[in-house]
Amino acid sequence: MAIRLDTSDAGFAAAFDAFVAKDRDGGRDVSASVRGVIEAVRADGFAALQRFTREFDRFELTGENLRIGPREIDEAEAACDKADLETLDFAAARIRAYHEKQTPQDLRYTDDQGVTLGWRWTPVDAAGLYVPGGRAAYPSSVLMNAIPAKVAGVKRLAMTTPSPNGDMNPLVLAAARRAGVDEIYRIGGAQAVAALAYGAGQIAPVDVIAGPGNAYVAEAKRQVFGQVGIDSIAGPSEILVVADGKNDPQWIAADLLSQAEHDPSSQSVLITDDAAFAEKVAEAVGEQLAANPRREIAEAAWKSNSAIIIVNALDEAPALVDRIAPEHLELAVADPEVLLAKVRHAGAVFLGRYAPEAIGDYVAGPDHVLPTARAARYASGLSVLDFMKRTSIIGCDEKGLQRIGPAAARLADAEGLPSHAMSIRIRCEKT
């Protein structure tokens, strides 16, 4: 059973602090293992990919089957239900429309000193997209990772996804085609991240790697950062629901389990001002767990990492939300805007009783790759900007340099950098 906390209890502060600080990954340190994989891929290239794919995915990788070609994608689409393909099209259109509104604008202006200033946004040349396999296949992750990159203008999109025993989810391949993925490789794990970062065999290196994965994938992204850019270090999924007693307990229970069923390390939190309602939600969670095909996973997350928090009034909730800084926040109350205005830290916020988190996972439009493990305090979800970089633009004519140059040269003198100062004064003193 999820732990119960009550802000009225004398020991609440200490108990809440312990809950927030809990390590849901079980303290696993996979850095050494991942470092070994990365070093092997850098040293042995494709041969290392073959070894690791044989060991972890039980599949014999060859130069011929590493990359998935158009014919295999055609066959995958033919195996998909037509209604599923139409749903992918629907989701892709909404995701694309949302991300097109994120495209930043260039700027150029001349200030009152006559200096030309501005910035220019340009896409990276190549991006790598990691799509999880393992416990579940996620065609939605393909859309959410690839579409922002394409909207940004990335020319080369290389996708990796594990294929245990050689099997590949056909909807994943269909989603890749709809999202504009250029290359698809049947590899996963830390070795896939290393191949994208450094190149291996026919896989050329990329500039940015995005996409969620397990602890090994996350650690691999951490270790290759600097060689390439990354979107974030993703951890276990999270949901926090703020709900009043006017909700249907079954609805809220389903929302809580929507993240618990991802992984045993996931976390679900309910904050409510109605103790009787909280009890009904707990009962509903138990009922739904009994019928859930992923019960073992969801039950472990619910019992080990989750909480029901009773507050005296819902205006106490925002401060608790900001401490947790959840990946997903549902405000299932009559007037969610009131609470939204007071919340500062959350990856994505869902407003009202009819906006379940799951709608954001698939078709709402905003990206579902979001900051976890309290990273919403300083980070944002995946966006078009993750696949672009901003270049500053500075231009001076003779008069402009005469006006601002002396101040720059004086600062260079103060820092003990004479050539910096001379590069300015030699122009300003020219007659």
**Is the CB of residue 86 less than 8 Å from the CB of residue 367?**
no
Instruction: Mark whether 215 and 256 lie in a shared domain.
Output: no
Beta bridge partners of 400: none
346-366: pLDDT as tens digits: 999 999 999 999 999 999 999
Separation of alpha carbons 232 and 251, rounded Å: 31
Instruction: Mark whether 39 and 180 lie in a shared domain.
Output: yes
Q: With 50 as the cut, is the pLDDT of residue 431 above it?
A: no
Count of beta carbons in the 10 Å neighbourhood of residue 188: 26
Instruction: Mark whether 20 and 44 lie in a shared domain.
Output: no
The yes-or-no answer on residue 328 being catalytic is yes
12-31: pLDDT as tens digits: 999 999 999 998 876 678 99
Catalytic choice (183, 238, 299, 327): 327
Give the domain range for residue 127. 31-103+123-230
Which residue, of 230, 251, 281, is where some domain finishes? 230
Nearest residue to 349 via CA among 362, 332, 363, 324: 332
**376 within domain boundaries:** no
Helices (DSSP H) in 111-169: which residue ranges? 139-152
Instruction: Mark whether 76 and 213 lie in a shared domain.
Output: yes
Count helices and strands (H / E) in the chain.
17, 14
Give the pLDDT confidence score for residue 224 in this predicted structure: 97
Instruction: Mark whether 258 and 240 lie in a shared domain.
Output: yes
Instruction: Mark whether 165 and 255 lie in a shared domain.
Output: no
How confident is the prediction for the chain on average, in pLDDT? 95
Give the pLDDT confidence score for residue 215 in this predicted structure: 86
Give the pLDDT confidence score for residue 429 in this predicted structure: 85
**341 within domain boundaries:** yes
* Residue partners of 35: CB distance under 8 A and separation at least 6: 223
Instruction: Mark whether 99 and 193 lie in a shared domain.
Output: yes
| 145 three-state secondary structure | helix
Catalytic choice (99, 262, 328, 345): 328
Looking at residue 273, which CATH number applies to its domain?
Answer: 3.40.50.1980
Looking at residues 379-395, what average pLDDT do you find?
A: 97
Nearest residue to 249 via CA among 212, 287, 215, 222: 287
Instruction: Mark whether 66 and 133 lie in a shared domain.
Output: yes
**17 within domain boundaries:** yes
CA 282 to chain centre: 29
Count of beta carbons in the 10 Å neighbourhood of residue 131: 28
**382 within domain boundaries:** no
- CA distance to 151, 246, 317, per residue, from 250 (Å): 38, 12, 21
| 355 three-state secondary structure | coil
Instruction: Mark whether 88 and 226 lie in a shared domain.
Output: yes
What is the C-alpha R_g of the chain? 25
Question: How many domains does the chain fold into?
Answer: 3
Q: With 90 as the cut, is the pLDDT of residue 257 above it?
A: yes
The yes-or-no answer on residue 99 being catalytic is no
Nearest residue to 192 via CA among 423, 351, 38, 30: 38
322-354: pLDDT as tens digits: 999 999 999 999 999 999 999 999 999 999 999
156-184: pLDDT as tens digits: 999 999 988 888 899 999 999 999 999 99
Which residue, of 173, 205, 230, is where some domain finishes? 230
35-70: pLDDT as tens digits: 999 999 999 999 999 999 999 999 999 999 999 999
